[in-house]
């Protein structure tokens, strides 16, 4: 009986990002047949989005496999499909413990047009890494001296700087504090937070890093989506079909546990719905997306978990102005000793939030292309500007930091994740006061356990629902598998003597 029900159960997945695709894959493998994905846009992949800039493949969304090693399912799938370069597959690469921060070779430039020396900058990089490391420890200590990572670093850095760098001249000490400000902006991008003052200190350590040196997909990240989709039925996904309401608890006529209402008016009956829409979308639309509304504790957690913007600005040059071995460029403003990571006048100074660039490698493949990174409200403002203005501002910035007034980018292309109506930002982070309970609440299915209604009507997947790999592709993928497994376990637990109330 359970097997028959499993085969017949109607399951709708909302969203065709990696979590939705993963859920579908696992359900089909487990014997479910009536599975359908409704996707708002005309494509699969969601925040995995590969684009082109001239002849170059560029990633508009996810960039790296974070921690490519045996425990990372994205790595294992990418290896299985032959999507990675040999260097990424070596045991040495998989064994590297980088704790989320690849050991890239940097160049530093200051706003007065100077190239800064590693000797002057490395002590500040080390101090920052130490403070970030300590910030992760508060999660297991059960208490936090400050509400946010930003406040902790701002309190500790000057004390340690005064002690450690007392023999340095004042200008070197000041410049090192400016670099700490720059590193705070880097972390805004890494964590997808508008300011490190919004990143909860007690929850920061919830994120877990896997071993392995981050790697990219030479043919584009979307390759993993295409390969997964090729193993699924070709009519699985209905594109351009945004969902506007999930009616649960049998509130719609017809007696189905759930009815999914689409923007075009179509109403689809289902036994189970897996919601994979991004947290940014949920924050904006949860009050209309669910009938009856979500339980209060879930709504509060949706508010407490953060969802921020991190955008890329790709810039192509005729020739490089950075060192041949350089992998990352940090732009240090020499008036930013205060360790404040938000600009006060966004309209005039939004560009100050861009920490610098990563270098697209190898140059034989990409030519001379940099990827600028900018997070926060400054990034959201940048999205509203005409491309010409972004180009002008970036050009002025590079000329100022290099002291070379002739450098002219050949082409610029930027992402606009905040304006994307189906994403409303980039990825999630644990906000101030956030705890593991909030992530539990977010992924808790509806109706809550213990009620009399049919169980598992609405399930929740997506990167923001993963307890320790939130904000990543592997976290999203695992969340899709998790919710599919929840349904598999549910049907496996139904015994013939306890008839399940499914009508289908
Ligand atoms: C990673 C990386 N990476 C850069 C940038 C971005 C992200 N991530 P999806 O949104 O994919 O799918 C939902 C679908 O739902 C979508 O198709 C919608 O159209 C659809 N939808 C919405 N509403 C709907 C409706 N009403 N009806 C129907 N459909 C609807 N991750 O592993 N490596 O390098 C980066 C990066 C610019 C924007 C990233 C990266 C995040 C991933 O892209 C993301 O988690 C998953 O793709 C999400 O998949 P999904 O299925 O959940 O949603 C130490 C420490 C600190 C902690 N953090 C460290 C980690 C750092 C993360 N770094 C990321 C960095 C970059 C550069």
Give the pLDDT of residue 1.
Answer: 56
Q: What is the DSSP letter of 374?
A: E
What spacing in Å lies between the alpha carbon of 182 and ligand 1's midpoint?
24
Question: Average pLDDT for residues 52-75, to the nearest whole number?
Answer: 96
Locate the domains of the chain by residue range. Answer: 2-48+222-306+423-503, 101-208+310-414
Are 397 and 363 within 8 A, CB to CB?
no
What spacing in Å lies between the alpha carbon of 185 and ligand 1's midpoint?
20
Are 297 and 482 within 8 A, CB to CB?
no
What spacing in Å lies between the alpha carbon of 189 and ligand 1's midpoint?
13
Res. 253 pLDDT band, cuts 50 70 90? confident
Res. 89 pLDDT band, cuts 50 70 90? very high
187 ligand 1 Cβ < 6 A: no
Give the pLDDT of residue 504.
Answer: 31
276 ligand 1 Cβ < 6 A: yes
Query: Residue 287 class from Cβ within 10 Å (0-12 exposed, 13-18 middle, 19+ buried)?
Result: exposed
Question: Average pLDDT for residues 163-188, to the nearest whole number?
Answer: 96
327 vs 216: CA distance, rounded Å: 14
What spacing in Å lies between the alpha carbon of 462 and ligand 1's midpoint?
8
Crossing angle for the helix pair 170-191 and 149-164, to the nearest 10 degrees: 160
Q: How many percent of the chain have pLDDT more than 70?
A: 97
What spacing in Å lies between the alpha carbon of 476 and ligand 1's midpoint?
8
Domain 101-208+310-414 in CATH 3.40.50.2300: no
Crossing angle for the helix pair 473-493 and 18-29, to the nearest 10 degrees: 30
Q: Nearest 5°: phi and psi at 446?
A: -115, 145
What spacing in Å lies between the alpha carbon of 278 and ligand 1's midpoint?
8
Q: How many C-beta neighbours within 10 Å does residue 252 have?
A: 18
Ligand 1 atom 1 nearest Cα: 472
pTM, two decimal places: 0.96
Residue whose CB lies within 8 A of the most ligand 1 atoms, among 46, 289, 311, for a mutation test: 46
186 vs 149: CA distance, rounded Å: 13
**Digit-coded pLDDT (tens) for 90-133:** 999 999 988 878 889 999 999 999 999 999 999 999 999 999 99
Which of 176-185, 233-242, 385-394, 448-457 is predicted with the least confidence, judged by mean pLDDT?
448-457
**Digit-coded pLDDT (tens) for 286-306:** 999 999 999 999 999 999 999
Are 461 and 479 within 8 A, CB to CB?
yes
Give the pLDDT of residue 281.
Answer: 98
Whether 496 shows a pLDDT value over 60: the answer reads no
61 ligand 1 Cβ < 6 A: yes
193 ligand 1 Cβ < 6 A: no
Give the pLDDT of residue 124.
Answer: 97
17 ligand 1 Cβ < 6 A: yes
Res. 355 pLDDT band, cuts 50 70 90? very high
462 ligand 1 Cβ < 6 A: yes
What spacing in Å lies between the alpha carbon of 9 and ligand 1's midpoint?
29
Are 231 and 81 within 8 A, CB to CB?
no
**Digit-coded pLDDT (tens) for 313-335:** 999 999 999 999 999 999 999 99
What spacing in Å lies between the alpha carbon of 286 and ligand 1's midpoint?
19
Integer CA distances (angstroms), 272 to 9, 268, 269, in order: 8, 11, 9
Ligand 1 atom 2 nearest Cα: 62
Ligand 1 atom 37 nearest Cα: 61
Q: Can you tell me which atom of ligand 1 is nearest the CA of 22?
A: 51
Ligand 1 atom 12 nearest Cα: 17
Residue whose CB lies within 8 A of the most ligand 1 atoms, among 21, 71, 372, 472, for a mutation test: 472
Q: What is the DSSP letter of 117?
A: P
Helix (H, G, I), strand (E, B) or coil at 58: strand
Radius of gyration, alpha carbons of the chain: 24
Whether 497 shows a pLDDT value over 80: the answer reads no
Residues in the chain: 504
Integer CA distances (angstroms), 324 to 85, 110, 407, in order: 21, 19, 17
Q: How many percent of the chain have pLDDT more than 90?
A: 90
| Domain 2-48+222-306+423-503 -> CATH class | alpha beta
Question: Average pLDDT for residues 221-232, to the nearest whole number?
Answer: 98
To which residue do tokens 């992949």 refer? Answer: 45
Count how many Cα atoms sit within 13 Å of the Cα of residue 34 in the half-sphere of its side chain: 15
Whether 500 shows a pLDDT value over 70: the answer reads no
**Digit-coded pLDDT (tens) for 199-211:** 999 999 999 999 9
Residue whose CB lies within 8 A of the most ligand 1 atoms, among 39, 47, 137, for a mutation test: 47
Q: CA nearest 411: which of 313, 312, 310?
A: 313
Res. 494 pLDDT band, cuts 50 70 90? confident
192 vs 187: CA distance, rounded Å: 8
Residue whose CB lies within 8 A of the most ligand 1 atoms, among 12, 13, 14, 15, for a mutation test: 15
**Digit-coded pLDDT (tens) for 15-38:** 999 999 999 999 999 999 999 999
- Maximum Cα–Cα distance for the chain, whole Å? 81
Integer CA distances (angstroms), 95 to 71, 190, 218, 263, in order: 11, 22, 21, 48
Question: Average pLDDT for residues 41-68, to the nearest whole number?
Answer: 97
Question: Average pLDDT for residues 235-255, to the nearest whole number?
Answer: 91
The residues with which 274 forms a beta bridge, in sequence order, are 13, 459
Task: Show the tokens assigned to 439.
Answer: 């992530």
* Enclosing H/E stretch for 105: none
* Enclosing H/E stretch for 190: helix 170-191
Task: Show the tokens assigned to 104.
Answer: 């890239």
């Amino acid at each position: 009986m359970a097997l028959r029900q499993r085969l017949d159960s109607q399951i709708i997945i909302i969203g065709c990002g990696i979590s939705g695709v993963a859920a579908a894959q696992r359900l089909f493998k487990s014997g479910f047949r009536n599975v359908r994905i409704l996707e708002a846009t005309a494509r699969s992949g969601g925040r995995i989005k590969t684009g082109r800039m001239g002849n170059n493949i560029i990633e508009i969304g996810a960039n790296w496999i974070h921690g490519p090693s045996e425990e990372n399912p994205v790595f294992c799938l990418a290896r299985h499909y032959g999507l990675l370069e040999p260097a990424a597959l070596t045991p040495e690469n998989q064994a590297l413990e980088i704790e989320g921060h690849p050991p890239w070779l940097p160049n530093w430039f200051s706003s007065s047009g100077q190239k800064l020396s590693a000797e002057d900058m490395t002590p500040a990089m080390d101090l920052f890494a130490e403070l970030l490391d300590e910030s992760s420890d508060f999660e297991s200590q059960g208490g936090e001296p400050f509400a946010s990572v930003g406040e902790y670093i701002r309190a500790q850095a000057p004390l340690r700087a005064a002690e450690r760098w007392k023999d340095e001249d004042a200008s070197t000490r000041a410049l090192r504090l400016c670099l700490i400000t720059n590193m705070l902006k880097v972390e805004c991008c890494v964590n997808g937070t508008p300011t490190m003052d919004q990143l909860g200190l007690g929850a920061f350590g919830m994120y877990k890093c896997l071993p392995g040196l981050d790697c990219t997909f030479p043919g584009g990240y979307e390759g993993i989506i295409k390969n997964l989709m090729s193993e699924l039925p070709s009519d699985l996904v209905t594109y351009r079909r945004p969902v506007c309401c999930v009616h649960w608890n049998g509130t719609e006529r017809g007696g189905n546990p759930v009815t999914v209402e689409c923007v075009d008016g179509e109403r689809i009956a289902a036994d189970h719905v897996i919601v994979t829409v991004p947290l940014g979308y949920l924050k904006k639309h949860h009050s209309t997306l669910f009938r009856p509304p979500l339980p209060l504790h879930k709504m509060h957690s949706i508010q407490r978990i953060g969802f921020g913007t991190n955008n890329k600005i790709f810039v192509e040059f005729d020739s490089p102005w950075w060192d041949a071995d350089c992998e990352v460029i940090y732009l240090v403003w020499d008036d930013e000793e205060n360790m404040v990571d938000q600009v006060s006048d966004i309209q005039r100074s939004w560009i100050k939030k861009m920490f610098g660039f990563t270098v697209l490698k190898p140059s034989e493949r990409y030519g001379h292309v940099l990827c600028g990174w900018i997070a926060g409200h400054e990034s959201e403002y940048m999205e509203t500007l005409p491309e010409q203005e972004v180009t002008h501002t970036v050009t002025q910035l590079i000329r100022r930091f290099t002291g070379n007034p002739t450098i002219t980018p050949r082409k610029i292309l930027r992402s606009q994740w905040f304006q994307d109506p189906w994403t409303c930002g980039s990825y999630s982070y644990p906000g101030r006061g956030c705890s593991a309970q909030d992530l539990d609440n977010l992924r808790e299915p509806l109706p809550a356990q213990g009620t009399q209604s049919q169980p598992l009507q609405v399930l929740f997947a997506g990167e923001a629902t993963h307890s320790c790999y939130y904000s990543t592709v592997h976290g999203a993928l695992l969340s899709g598998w998790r919710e599919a497994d929840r349904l598999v376990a549910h049907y496996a637990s139904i015994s013939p003597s306890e008839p399940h109330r499914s009508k289908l």
